[in-house]
């Protein structure tokens, strides 16, 4: 389960920000895990909750947005939204698609407390 490793990285980001910006805890952590990022959102949430006690994330509400995948179709030249990587282009039915979005896992923002 690589979500534990991802959660550890997110925790390091929050702790580094707390040292740099001098805050004591995160009250709301907002993440974005694109549909094509290869992240199981429920497992990531569980991993974050497991790592949080005794850290700046303890008690934080974790909001995870899941934007859809986006791809550019080489066949028709359109940019389209996809639910799964294996889906054909909804415009022309082609399968020559280059992902352009929805592959990211990122910290969007944090609401913090002194």
**Which residue segment(s) compose the domain that 60 sits in?**
3-68+103-113
Q: Is residue 8 part of a domain?
A: yes
pLDDT at 17 over 70: yes
Q: What is the pLDDT of residues 23-79, one digit of tens each?
A: 999 999 999 999 999 999 999 999 999 999 999 999 999 999 999 999 999 999 999
pTM for the model stands at 0.85
Give the strand order in the sheet containing 25-33. 61-65, 25-33, 105-113
Give how many domains the chain has, as a whole number.
Answer: 1
Tell which residue, 80, 87, 77, has the closest CA to residue 101. Answer: 80
pLDDT for the residue numbered 42:
96
Q: Is residue 55 part of a domain?
A: yes
Q: In degrees to the nearest 10, what's the CA dihedral of 51, 52, 55, 57?
A: 140
Q: What is the CATH number of the domain that holds 42?
A: 3.30.2320.50
Angle at 31 between CA 43 and CA 1, to 5 degrees: 25
Q: Is residue 22 part of a domain?
A: yes
Helices vs. strands in the chain: H and E counts, helices first: 2, 6
Q: Is residue 81 part of a domain?
A: no
Tell which residue, 1, 3, 4, 49, has the closest CA to residue 29. Answer: 49
Q: Is residue 79 part of a domain?
A: no
pLDDT for the residue numbered 40:
96
Q: Is residue 87 part of a domain?
A: no
Q: How many angstroms separate the CA atoms of 78 and 76, rounded? A: 6
Q: Is residue 97 part of a domain?
A: no
């Amino acid at each position: 389960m690589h979500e534990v490793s991802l959660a550890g990285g997110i925790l390091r980001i929050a702790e580094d920000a707390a040292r740099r910006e001098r805050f004591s805890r995160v009250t709301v952590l907002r993440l974005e895990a694109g549909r094509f990022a290869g992240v199981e959102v429920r497992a990531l949430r569980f991993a974050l909750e497991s790592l949080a006690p005794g850290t700046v994330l303890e008690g934080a509400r974790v909001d995870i947005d899941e934007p859809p995948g986006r791809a550019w179709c080489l066949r028709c030249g359109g940019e389209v939204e996809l639910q799964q990587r294996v889906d054909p282009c909804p415009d022309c039915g082609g399968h020559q698609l280059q992902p352009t979005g929805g592959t990211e896992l990122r910290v969007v923002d944090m609401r913090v407390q002194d």
